[in-house]
Structure formats: C-alpha cells, structure tokens
Amino acid sequence: MKLSNQTQLSEFLLLGFSENPALQPIIFELFLSMHLVTLSGNLLIILAILSDPHLHTPMYFFLTNLSMVDICFTTTTIPKMLVNIQMHSKAISYAGCITQMFFFILFGGLDDFILTVMAYDRFVAICHPLHYMVIMNSQLCTQLVLVCWTINVLDGVLHSLLVLRLRFSTHMEIPHFFCETNQVVHRACSDTFLNDLMMDFATVLFLVGPLTGILFSYSKIISSICAISSAQGKHKAFSTCASHLSAIFLFYGTSIGLYLSASAAPSSASTVAALKMYTVVTPMLNSFIYSLRNTDMKKAIKKLLFHK
C-alpha cells in the first residue's frame, strides 16, 4: 500500500500568484522582463571581467562566480513559471519538482557562501594589503569556490533524498510559483521529522554561519579603516566594500524576511512576496549594484560595449 501511494503521485500543481486570467499576461510580461534583465546584466558582468585583464583579480573572480550563480538561480524557477502561464497549465512533474527543489537549494546556498568568501577577500585586501596577492592566490580562490560547491551540492542532495522518502497523495497543490522545499515537505502524508530537522539545521548552517563570518570580517575591516589617518584613504578603502555590502544587505534582508514570513504564515501573500524578492529581484539587482556602484566595472562594461 505504501508503494501504491508513492506511485500514484505524478505531478504537483503550482498555483502561482493569481487565479485571475486577466492578470496572467501582465505577470508573464513582468517576470519575462525581469528574467531577461537578470540574464543580460549578469552576463554583461561576466563578459566584462573576462575581457579586461585589469579585472583578473580574486575580487572579480568571485564576482564572476556570483553572477553565474545568480543566472542559474533565477533560471531554476522563472522559465517553468513562464511556460506554465503560456500553456495555461499549473502542473510540474514529480521528477521536475524534485529537480527544481535541488537546484533552488544549491544555487541559493551558493549565493550565500560566495558572498561570505567575498567578505573574506575584502578582509584580506584591507587588513593585510601587503600580503593580499600572496594569501589570495589563484589556488586558494579556486579551492574556496570548490568548497562552496561541494557543501551546497551535498546539502541539495540530502534534502532531495529526504523528500524522495516521503509519501504524497494525488493532486498536491503548492501555493507558490515553484517547488519550495518547506511547502513540498509539509504536504506529505508521512512523517516529516527528519525533513524538518534538516531544514532547521540548514537554516543555521547557511544563514547564521555565513552571516557570523561576514560580521567578523567586517568588524576587522571597520577597525582597519578607522585606523587610517587620511580621509581619502578611508574613502578609498570603504569604496572597495560598498558594492559587496549592498549585495549582503539585499540578500540577507530578503532571506530573513522570507524566513520570518514563512514561519508566521507559510501560504500568505507576504511569503509569496518575499519569495519573489528572493528568487527574482535580488539576482536582478545584484547586477545593477556591481555594474553601477563599481568604477572599474563601469569602465570595463563601457570598453566591452563601445570598444573604447
């Protein structure tokens, strides 16, 4: 009987944002536009960094990885939602749901970890400037990114395996536009204790842990900046962190807002809005943050676009 319960489920239904047919074209055009801006903005950053030898430094190596992750992160959820709107369908297959959930966990965690690694990079650059290129050598940078990938792949696999062991009834409805882990787990007919335990552990590991590392790095950075005697030196040191700080505030602001709204009311409009910010708006704004607030990036982009 347990096996029959598992095999009966062939798909989930993604309820999306609105049941009103008149709003579907507006939602489609809005999210298609945002997705295209995210793709083009982050791709432009990657191409500008690769084409400019002056940007072949650890800081921009990590930024390239962040932009790649942002492209993959938004591509995990938005294209399926756009296809469903165009096809007038809400369905996503069971395998497709598990796959989407895995990649959402993977790239969401990678965003967090790479921001943390970038904080360490800024810490070394400002607090140990004379040894920066020795400490942040290419081997260490590659190893840090590989560690980020390894941890998050294992996390995504573990979450997916724990969901695969659950039993679901037929016609499961998810009140979001993608397969969000918490929503999928709490629609199961079987015991979800291990899943809940894993999600709580992941919250600590992927939010509290990296945030602690970021706060520690910036406490040291602020101390070093305050010790600089000249105002020009302080401004120059702070300007190298401005874009990164903006990205951190945006990421953790939306992450904490999502966690709090989901804890209070998992299916509420505020949770849907927080998910929209987290999955669509944040990757899109990251490209603007790093292209508009960073002088070197602006020069590289102009050089790439206008060959100047």
User: What's the start-to-end Cα distance of the chain, in Å?
Assistant: 69
CB 161 within 8 A of CB 195: no
Residue type present at position 38: T
User: What is the distance between the alpha carbons of residues 119 and 271, in angstroms, rounded to a whole number?
Assistant: 29
Q: What is the pLDDT of residue 267?
A: 55
User: What is the distance between the alpha carbons of residues 285 and 38, in angstroms, rounded to a whole number?
Assistant: 8
| Structural domains of the chain ordered from first start | 2-306 (1.20.1070.10)
User: What is the distance between the alpha carbons of residues 262 and 104, in angstroms, rounded to a whole number?
Assistant: 16
**Angle formed by the axes of helices 58-86 and 138-164, nearest 10°:** 30
Per residue of the chain (308 residues), what is the pLDDT tens digit? Answer: 344 444 456 788 888 766 677 788 888 998 999 999 999 999 999 999 999 998 999 999 999 999 999 999 999 999 999 998 888 888 899 999 999 999 999 999 999 999 999 999 999 999 999 999 999 999 999 999 999 999 999 999 999 999 999 988 776 788 888 898 888 998 888 888 999 999 888 888 888 889 999 999 999 999 998 888 888 878 887 888 888 888 898 888 887 777 676 665 555 565 666 677 778 888 888 888 887 767 788 888 888 888 75
Q: Which pTM value belongs to this model?
A: 0.90
Tally of CB atoms within 10 A around 93: 13
Burial of 223 (0-12, 13-18, 19+ CB in 10 A): exposed
Task: Report CA-CA distances (Å) from 219 to 127, 224, 232, 249, 251.
Answer: 11, 9, 20, 15, 19
